[in-house]
Chain A
Amino acid sequence: MTLPAAARAVPTLLRVGFAEAVAYRAELFVWILTSTMPLIMLALWTAVARDAPVGRYDQRGFVAYFLAVFVVRQLTGSWIAWEMNYEIRQGTIASRLLRPLPPILHYASETLAAIPLRLVVALPVAGCALWVTGAEQLPRGPVAWAVWLAAIAGGWLIAFLLSFCIGSLAFYLESSAKVMDLSLVLLFVFSGYLFPVELLPAGLRAVVDWLPFRYQLGLPVELLVSAYDVRDALRPLAIQWGWVVALLAAAAALWRGGLSRYAAFGG
């Protein structure tokens, strides 16, 4: 299958994906509800910052930060691993393999196509954030917005590819759900999901800077609330896209290796 032909299939895949997201809206809704943790952390951190700001964040800063976390997670969230694990164990992934399309493209369009429905939930929250904290926190100028776009695209890719890698592990392990749980814990603690990463002690901070999790969520969030200058964002942005390339290679290797082991049992 050539690349242009695959690209031609994408609009159709997106339409199908959107129809699926609408059809299985209950499941999508549950996924959205499972990511309400930022709202809990919002309550916690505003309580912590009641008397004085913590680091650069005062109460309003925390409100903006965690509402941004919620929105970014809705935009970049990917639960492909869960689905792949199920399909590989049940053997139903065979129907995807039969199609004359790279399955990763199929999964990617499914994830992308769910974004409009997620926006239905995310936009009111974003509206609340604007109303509570005002627009002065947002990126200023077209350059800042372009950098943010690059960061959120990178974040989406990292989330998706990481999920795809974990899903591919189901070819090797009996169930990759355990790995998914583990990656969720790491994501929670090291991505800025529960607290801005800059509140971590310096030693741990250095480790977090080299893990992919911060670039999946923390970086686009920090840029959205203008936690630092655009110029300071270039280094993390470079690391982020380095991770995208690395994960792309890992995803390809894991998928190819896994497929050659796969015997499509069950049904």
Chain B
Amino acid sequence: MLRYLRLLGVQLHTSLLTLLQYRFDFATEGLLELLWTATALVPLFVVFDARRIVAGWTFEEALLVVGWFTLLQAVLEGAINPSLTSVVEHIRKGTLDFILLKPADAQFLVSTARFQPWRATNLLAAVAIFVFAFRRMHTVPSPGGVALALALLAVSTVLLYSMWILTVSAAFYVVRIDNLTYLFGAIFDAARWPSSVFRGVVGFVFTFVIPLALMTTYPALALLDRLRPATLALALSIAAIFAGASRVVWLRALARYTSAGG
């Protein structure tokens, strides 16, 4: 365990060194991130320009969902995406060999290979959105609500990571499928909206098959003190199921790996 902690430290250190090499990128990318986050808010304004309440959500409440979406996107694009995108490349070229040769767990190594800390600017954007929304509502979140929301944030991170591992595992089965990152982003985009917007089949899929509701809607509800703490137990068990399943699928997919020539 200690060894893996030390390994994580080393990997973080290398990412940081790479980052310092490209200081200009750090600044421009950070700015671009903020611009995109702002642009992503436009649909929300358009929707709430037409109606005061949509599917039981006011503008300020829906802003909280967007805030959580922004926060999770920062986590996804800063800590999860960069490493796992390179796995797809490794599989395609056969260079995954070099990672498999190392005396540590391959999933751990590929998942911690690269971090992009400039995405952290989006964390600030998320906090700004929260502050703005609560100021407009003239309230502050309760400490219990905040704690519950933070616990759900941890759960969501695990869920996102597991879903990513599941997606990446597909790359072992299909030869040329290096556009997977875009697929994941496209699905995750639906989490921008409160889950009660989606009804019928779509609603079912986004609650149970791909638990997007759990990631952004529930934390927003927690901040509004509308979520029962018991929901956390449900969330934890779903995250555990996903984490377990992704580990099994990863190991099975890895067993199919035939090195170069793929």
With A43-B198, A48-B54, A199-B46 given, is the CB distance from A185 to B40 under 8 Å? yes
Cβ of A131 within 8 Å of any chain B Cβ, yes or no, is no
Interface of B is mostly: helix
Within 8 A of B (CB), among A53-104: 54-55, 79, 82, 86
Residue pair A26, B32 in contact (C-beta under 8 Å): no
Task: Judge whether A33 and B186 touch: CB under 8 Å.
Answer: yes
**How big is chain B's contact interface, by range?**
20 to 34
Residues of A within 8 A of B198 (CB): 40, 43
What is the size, in residues, of chain A's interface with B at 8 Å between Cβ atoms?
A: 33
**Residues of A near any B CB (own CB < 8 A):** 24, 26-27, 30-31, 33-37, 39-40, 43-45, 47-48, 54-55, 79, 82, 86, 178, 181-182, 185-186, 189, 194-195, 199-201
Partner among B29, B39, B193, B199 whose Cβ is within 8 Å of the Cβ of A185: B39
Checking A47, A181, A189 against B42 with a beta-carbon cut-off of 8 angstroms, the contacting residue is A189
Say yes or no: B39 contacts A47, CB within 8 Å: no
Given A199-B50, A201-B49, residue A34 in contact with residue B179 (CB < 8 A): yes
Q: Are B47 and A182 in contact (CB under 8 A)?
A: no
Q: Does B241 contact A (CB under 8 A)?
A: no
Q: Which of B39, B40, B175, B197 contacts A43 (CB 8 A)?
A: B197
Residues of B near A47 (CB, < 8 A) are 54-55, 197, 199
Besides A37-B189, A43-B199, A189-B42, 12 other CB < 8 A contacts?
A26-B176, A26-B177, A30-B182, A39-B202, A40-B198, A79-B179, A178-B29, A178-B32, A189-B39, A189-B40, A195-B43, A199-B49
A33, B170: Cα distance in complex, Å: 15
The distance in angstroms between the C-alpha atoms of A119 and B175, with both chains bound, is: 23
Give every chain B residue within 8 A of A35 (Cβ-Cβ).
186
B12 close to chain A: CB less than 8 A: no
Q: Please give, as numbers and ranges, the residues of chain A lying within 8 Å of B17 by CB-CB distance.
A: none
**Cβ of B49 and Cβ of A31 under 8 Å apart?**
no
Contact of B174 among A26, A86, A195 (CB under 8 A): A26
The answer to whether residues A189 and B179 also contact, given A43-B202, A199-B49 and a CB cut-off of 8 A, is no
In contact, A44 and B197 (Cβ under 8 angstroms): yes
Q: Are A194 and B177 in contact (CB under 8 A)?
A: no
Known: A185-B39, A194-B43, A195-B43. A82 touches B51 (CB 8 A): no
Interface residues of B in 164-195 (CB under 8 A from A): 174-180, 182-183, 185-186, 189-190, 193
Task: Give the chain A neighbours of B49 by CB distance below 8 A.
Answer: 199, 201
> Please, which residues of chain B bring their CB within 8 A of the CB of A44?
47, 54, 193, 197
Q: How far is the CA of A60 from the CA of B174 in the complex (A)?
A: 39
Residues on A with C-beta less than 8 A from B50 are 48, 54-55, 199
In this complex, the member of B29, B50, B185 whose beta carbon has the largest number of chain A beta carbons within 10 angstroms is: B50
Complexed CA–CA distance, A87 and B23 (Å)? 27
* Also in contact, A182 and B32, with CB within 8 A (given A34-B182, A47-B199, A189-B42): yes
A30 contacts across to B, CB distance below 8 A: 177, 179-180, 182-183
Whether a CB of chain A sits under 8 angstroms from the CB of B36 is: yes
Interchain nearest-CB distance for B76 vs A (Å): 14
CB-CB < 8 A to B29: which residues of A?
Answer: 178
A82 to B193, CA, bound (A): 28
B14-53 contacts to A (CB < 8 Å): 29, 32, 36, 39-40, 42-43, 46-47, 49-51
Q: Which listed residue, A33, A48, A189, A200, touches B183 by the CB 8 Å rule? A: A33
A54, chain B: closest CB distance, angstroms: 4
Minimal Cβ-Cβ distance residue in B for A180:
B182
Contacts of B32 in A (CB 8 A): 178, 182
**Are B190 and A40 neighbours in the complex by a CB distance under 8 Å?**
yes
13 A-B pairs whose Cβ atoms sit less than 8 Å apart in the complex: A27-B178, A30-B180, A30-B182, A31-B182, A33-B183, A40-B198, A43-B197, A44-B54, A47-B197, A47-B199, A79-B179, A199-B46, A200-B46
Select from chain B the residue with minimum beta-carbon distance to A34. Answer: B186
Q: List the 10 closest pairs (A to B, CB-CB), nearest first.
A: A34-B186, A26-B174, A54-B50, A194-B43, A34-B182, A40-B190, A47-B55, A47-B197, A189-B42, A30-B183
Q: In the complex, are the beta carbons of A40 and B46 less than 8 A apart? A: no
Whether B180 pairs with A182 at a CB distance below 8 angstroms is: no
A195 and B46 contacting across the interface, CB-CB below 8 Å = yes
Cα–Cα, bound, A70→B54 (Å): 23
- B residues within 8 A CB of A37? 186, 189
Contacts of B43 in A (CB 8 A): 189, 194-195
Chain B's nearest CB lies how many Å from the CB of A222? 16
CB of A211, distance to nearest CB on chain B (Å): 13
Q: Which B residues are in CB contact (< 8 Å) with A195?
A: 43, 46-47
